[in-house]
Structures are given as structure tokens and as C-alpha cells.
Structure 1
Amino acid sequence: MSDENSTPKQQEPPRLPATGTLLVDAQDRVGEFRGVMGSRWALRPVRGGVEWEVEPEEVRPATPEQRLRYATARKNARSRGDVL
């Protein structure tokens, strides 16, 4: 027997991360959170480049290993003089 008067549980929107937080999208791309664009979030490659948009529900925080890997890549890029 179902309760016809019950309302479906609404999922709370994901919490807004701090700018620069490393996130992984559904395609396993790692990017820095840059901000909100409408209902979507903007991520930017760690080494610089074109931002892309993702649905907030389709991202997860980067693992400690991924954060270390990308911190190292960023430092290496800066040491080469790459523009980030």
C-alpha cells in the first residue's frame, strides 16, 4: 500500500565548493572549480585552458592522489614559465 499523499524526497543541491577546489567530472576530467554559470558549474583544467561546464550532480571531489598529482603538475608548469 503506497501513501498517495507523501511528497517525493527532493535531493538537496550539491554544496558550492570554494574557488580552486579540484573536482572530477563524469568523464574523469579533473578541473578547478571556477564558479557558477546558470545552473551549471564551470571547471578549468589545472594547467590552464578552456573552461567547461558540468552539472553539479555529476562531479565529485578529487582524491588525495589526484590532488597531489595536479599540484605537482601545476608547480611544474609554473617552473617552466607556462601561463596558467
Structure 2
Amino acid sequence: MTVEVGTLVLDAQTNRLGYVMGHVGPNMQLRPVAGGREWDADPTHVRPATSEERLAAIRERNRALNSASSGGIL
């Protein structure tokens, strides 16, 4: 399956949500929702995120942004 760069997907092997950053060889490179280091994912185990998963990703990203803007103090 070919998924466009920027699409939010679920890597079923790791049960992690990530944004497609690119394709190298047989793998997709995914970046975590809240940022961080990319990981390689087998495209046969990747699918587009559901509406519920997209909402969870927005909440996770907002938590990370809020934490960073407050200096990490909750």
C-alpha cells in the first residue's frame, strides 16, 4: 500500500501512531505524533488512522505542546 507523506497511520506491529515521513526501500519512515525519532515500519502492517485514533493523536500532541510550553511542569 502506498500512503502519502503526512498521513497519520497506525503501525500495527508496534501499536503506535505516526505520520508518514517518507519511504526508503521496502519500509515507511514514521514520526511519532508528539515528535521524536522516526522509526521504520513494514507497510504491510500499516493502515490509515481511524477518526478515534486521529482524535487521540491530537490530544497527545496537545499534551506534549502544553508540557513543553510550561517548562515541563504540570
Report the TM-score range of the alignment, normalised by the length of the smaller protein: 0.7 to 0.9
TM-score, length-normalised on structure 1?
Answer: 0.69
Runs ≥4 residues deviating over 3 A:
none
- The answer as to 2:35 corresponding to 1:51 is no
Instruction: Please give the secondary structure, in 1, of the residue aligned with 2:2.
Output: coil
Long gaps (5+) in structure 1: 1-13
Q: Which residue identity is paired with 2:30?
A: L
Structure possessing the higher radius of gyration over alpha carbons: 1
Select which of 20, 23, 28 maps to 2:9: 23
1:69 & 1:36 partners in 2: Cα distance? 25
2:18 & 2:28 partners in 1: Cα distance? 11
RMSD value, Cα: 1.6
Q: Which residue identity is paired with 2:35?
A: G
Taking only the aligned residue pairs, the percentage that are identical comes to 41
Q: Does structure 1 retain, via aligned residues, the 8 Å contact 2:11–2:41?
A: yes
Higher RCO structure (Cα 8 Å, ≥6 apart): 2
Larger helix proportion of the pair: 2
Long gaps (5+) in structure 2: 70-74
